[in-house]
Each structure stands twice: as C-alpha cells, then as structure tokens.
C-alpha cells in the first residue's frame, strides 16, 4: 500500500501517469483481439481527425491522396496513407507540430547512426508516459519497487535529471554507468562488485553490454550475480548473446523491442515472439518493396511501420522506423493467454542487410551461418566477428585476434560464406585487434557502408 501511495505522489509531482497507465495495461493485455482492435480503431479515428484539422503536414497529405478522415475508419484503412520517413520529419519538422497544442512536451533525440542524420521528435507527456509504462508490462513477474540494475550508457539514456533521479529512487532502479568499449577489465570488475552488492532481482541493458559482462563473470569465475530475469533492449539480441547470458547468470532473458512511432513489443514467458503493445500504438509489417502491401507470409521479412496513438504533440502516423521483422500468421494466439498480437521476431536494421539477387540476408541469418561451425557455437559472435560490405559486392569478415582462430577455422568460415552468397560476392577474411563501432558506441555486426562518418575504429 505504501508503495502505491508513493507512486501516486510521484505522478502528482511529475505530471506523468506512468503508474496509473501501467495498471490499465496490466489488465488490458488480457483483452481478446476484438476488444483490442475496437480500442485501437476508436483512438485512431480521434488521432486522424485531430491531425487533419490541426497539423499542416497531414492536411497536405490528405489533400494529396484525395481522401478525408472519414476514409480512415479502422486500422485496415491506414494503408491508404503514405509512409512517414525520417527525411519527411527532418524536412517538415515545424509542419508536423500542431499549432493548437498547449500541453507539456519532451524532446526525444535519436542517434541517426545508420542514416547520418540525427532526428528529434517532440512527444507529448501523455505519449511519453504511456510508452514508458508499456515497457514495465513486459518485465515478466516484475513488480514496481523491486530492485533493478540498469546497466546503461549515459550518452543515450539521461539518468541524472531531477525527474529521473526521483523516478529511479521511487522504483529502486540503480544505474551502473558504462562507457562502451572504453573500460578496462579492472574497472568492469569493480562494477561486478557493485551489482553483486546491490543484489538486484532484475538487470536491464543492451545485449552487447550484458553479454560482455557475462563473459567477464565467466573468465573471473564470478558467480555472485543471480538475477531472477534479464531484460535486453536497445540493440538486436542475437542467439549467441542470449545463450551466453542464460548460461552464465542462470537467468531467463526477455527481449524488449521499441522505438519511435508508438512501437513497443515484448517477449512473454512463453517466448513465442514479441507481443505488441497495441494500446499505445499500431504496428504494421509491410513489404520491403511495396510499403502499401502488408506482409502475411511467415517466411517473408517486412519493414516495421508504427503509428503512435497518444502523441498529439507531433502525430506520427505510419512512421517507418527502419527495422525489419517477421510476421506471425498465428498472431492472435499465444499459450500465455494474452490477447496482444505477436510478431515472430525482430531481424534488425534494414541498413544492415545484404540484398543478394532479391534475397534479403539479415544479421540473424549471418549469425546462423557462423554458428553452423562448431567452434563458434558458444562464442558471443557480435563481440568478436564483424561483416563489412565494401563497394557493393566485397564482403570483409573481420575476426578479433583474441579469439585465437586457427587457419583451418578461418578457412571454413570463409568457405561457408562463399557457399551461401554465391559467385556474386568476393569474400575476404582477416584478423584484427578491434572491430568498427558506431559513433554512439553501439555494436555493429553488419556494416553496409563503412565509408560514412558514422563509424570509428
């Protein structure tokens, strides 16, 4: 009871109804599909009418398409509107903001690591609170107020504002601040002791950071960190990373997926895919070659399109986030009983795929090529191997020297890629001291154009 009172007090002070909306989401996730769709359609019609009447950009879009808000009656009608791209937002930033909006806002900044063009999005407080609350729902068996270590990079996650400090104290979230690829082993060892002393029930962070932490625990035979669960987000979670985390920490890993445009999804305890947070946003999976065609075949990869149902400060309708996912034809059914629909899996960024004669090869597919060799089955692959495409048809496989691969292993790895890619590609392989990283220090497993200024040695 005291915790609930504290959360309600926090809402009054911050103006963000995160706790109240979280309680709603914990109930609504059990709605059946018809009730969820009814809720979405009702919110969508309100958003469409508001955007048409108040947002200059969308008034132009409707006029150009020759339609009115009456033509968008349900989620199925969204396909009548064009996709909103990063470039559209950058070029029409002021026209995307309604002239009549008087509420408080937050500025969300994205890194622009794949495009080279950083993006700023204005979010209304309601949208921010609801998106934030939706991520708490996916922490299986988590209750607000239980100890959590957030193993994070402070460059992307602002943790030291007055609001953040108040929120984290209330939630009992402890930040262990890291600087990717810069810290020495002795520094990381001190952070292992910090985590063990705090004894968290849950740990949350990027897959690359957490898997590196697991490797250090393995190397030092450090067995004092045993959280109930681990939550990964912020990057593509690879199978090799999941295996490493679960093996070392003896904890179940739950992956979270989210982004701009009201996109939020999570794994439940059944791990059948990612449940979409349908109350906060509408997610479409569309054909890579035709954004007006929905993907309905489980073997087909599609682009993720999101519509934020709560952001009236800058409506984002059919925003193309730049990620790829696979649709699940059994999206209305999960053994957990939740009515929230599923996407089968998230495949990573579109900018990180290789298109081989119409066949889209994703990062996860490449990881599968590598794991087909026994030597690599227990290796945290993205931490030690990198694929760099040069001049369109030259693939450089970079392997860190510390992996100590024999010439035979390297030759087998090269032969696997030659057999999978065919004669259209020339494959080179080399051992290196360091892999290339993005400017924001995110891991880069597959790089399509290393010549851009977004990467560093």
Q: Mutual orientation of helices 2-14 and 162-171 as an angle, nearest 10°?
A: 170
Tell me what pLDDT residue 113 has. Answer: 45
Please give the residue range of the domain that contains residue 39.
Answer: 1-349
Helices (H) and strands (E) in the chain, counts: 13, 21
DSSP-derived letter for residue 213 is H
- The reply to whether 337 and 361 lie within a common domain is no
Q: Is the Cα dihedral 133, 139, 141, 144 positive or negative?
A: negative
* Predicted pLDDT of residue 44: 97
Domain stops at, among 349, 368, 395: 349
Q: pLDDT tens, position by position, for the chain (457 residues)?
A: 555 555 555 555 566 677 888 889 999 999 999 999 999 999 999 999 999 999 999 999 999 999 999 999 999 999 999 999 999 999 999 999 998 888 888 877 765 544 445 678 888 888 888 887 887 777 777 877 788 888 866 555 555 666 666 667 766 777 776 665 556 777 888 888 999 999 999 999 989 889 988 999 999 999 999 999 999 988 899 999 999 999 999 999 999 998 888 889 999 999 989 999 999 999 999 998 888 888 877 668 899 999 999 999 999 999 999 999 988 666 668 899 999 999 989 998 888 888 877 788 999 999 999 999 999 999 999 999 999 988 778 999 999 999 999 999 999 999 999 999 988 899 999 999 988 876 656 668 998 865 554 555 5
CATH assignment at residue 376: 3.30.300
CA distance 123 to 114: 22
Q: Do 113 and 65 belong together in one domain?
A: yes
- What pTM did the predictor assign? 0.89
Q: Provide the domain count of the chain.
A: 2
* 67 and 81 assigned to the same domain: yes
Q: Which residue has the tokens 């769709």?
A: 37
Same domain, 26 and 135: yes
Tokens of 84: 């909103």
Residues 8 and 74 in one domain: yes
User: Of the candidates 297, 318, 349, which is a domain's last residue?
Assistant: 349
In a shared domain, residues 107 and 210: yes
Query: 250 and 392 share a domain?
Result: no
Number of C-beta neighbours around residue 177 at 10 A: 13
Kindly report the CATH number assigned to the domain that includes residue 79.
Answer: 3.40.50.12780
């Amino acid at each position: 009871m005291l915790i609930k009172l504290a959360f309600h007090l926090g809402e009054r002070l911050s103006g963000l109804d995160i706790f109240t909306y979280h309680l709603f989401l914990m109930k609504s996730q059990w709605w059946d599909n018809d009730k969820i769709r009814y809720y979405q359609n009702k919110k969508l019609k309100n958003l469409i009418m508001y955007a048409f009447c108040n947002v200059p950009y969308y008034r132009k879009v409707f006029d150009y398409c020759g339609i009115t808000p009456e033509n968008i009656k349900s989620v199925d009608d969204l396909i009548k509107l064009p996709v909103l791209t990063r470039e559209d937002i950058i070029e029409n930033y002021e026209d995307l903001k309604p002239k009549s909006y008087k509420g408080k806002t937050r500025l969300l900044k994205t890194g622009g690591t794949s495009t080279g063009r950083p993006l700023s999005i204005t979010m209304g407080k309601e949208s921010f609170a609801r998106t934030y609350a939706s991520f708490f729902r996916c922490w299986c068996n988590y209750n607000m107020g239980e100890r959590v270590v957030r193993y994070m990079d402070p460059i992307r996650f602002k943790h030291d504002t007055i609001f953040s400090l108040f929120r984290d104290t209330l939630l009992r979230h402890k930040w262990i601040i890291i600087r990717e690829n810069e810290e020495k082993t002795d520094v990381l060892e001190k952070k292992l002791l910090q985590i063990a002393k705090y004894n968290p029930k849950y740990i949350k962070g990027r897959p690359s950071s957490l898997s590196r932490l697991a490797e250090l625990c393995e190397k030092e035979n450090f067995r004092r960190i045993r959280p109930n669960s681990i939550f990964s987000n912020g990057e593509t979670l690879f199978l090799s990373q999941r295996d490493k985390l679960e093996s070392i920490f003896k904890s179940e890993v739950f992956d979270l997926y989210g982004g701009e445009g009201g996109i939020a999804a999570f794994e439940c305890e059944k791990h059948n895919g990612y449940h979409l947070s349908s109350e906060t946003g509408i997610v479409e999976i569309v054909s890579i070659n035709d954004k007006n065609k929905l993907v309905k075949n489980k073997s087909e990869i599609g682009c993720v399109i999101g519509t934020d149902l709560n952001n009236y400060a800058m409506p984002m309708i059919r925003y193309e986030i730049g990620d790829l996912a696979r649709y699940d034809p059994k999206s209305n059914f999960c053994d957990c009983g939740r009515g929230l629909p599923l996407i089968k899996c998230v495949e990573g960024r579109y900018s990180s795929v290789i298109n081989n004669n119409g066949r889209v090869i994703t990062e996860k597919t490449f990881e599968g090529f590598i794991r087909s060799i026994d030597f690599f089955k227990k290796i945290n692959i993205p931490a030690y191997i990198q694929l760099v495409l040069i001049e369109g048809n030259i693939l450089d496989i970079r392997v860190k020297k510390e992996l100590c691969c024999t010439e035979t292993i390297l030759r087998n790895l090269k032969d696997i890629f030659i057999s999978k890619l065919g004669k259209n590609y020339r494959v080179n392989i080399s051992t290196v001291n360091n892999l290339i990283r993005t400017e924001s220090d995110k891991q880069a497993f597959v790089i399509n154009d290393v010549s851009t200024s977004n990467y560093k040695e």
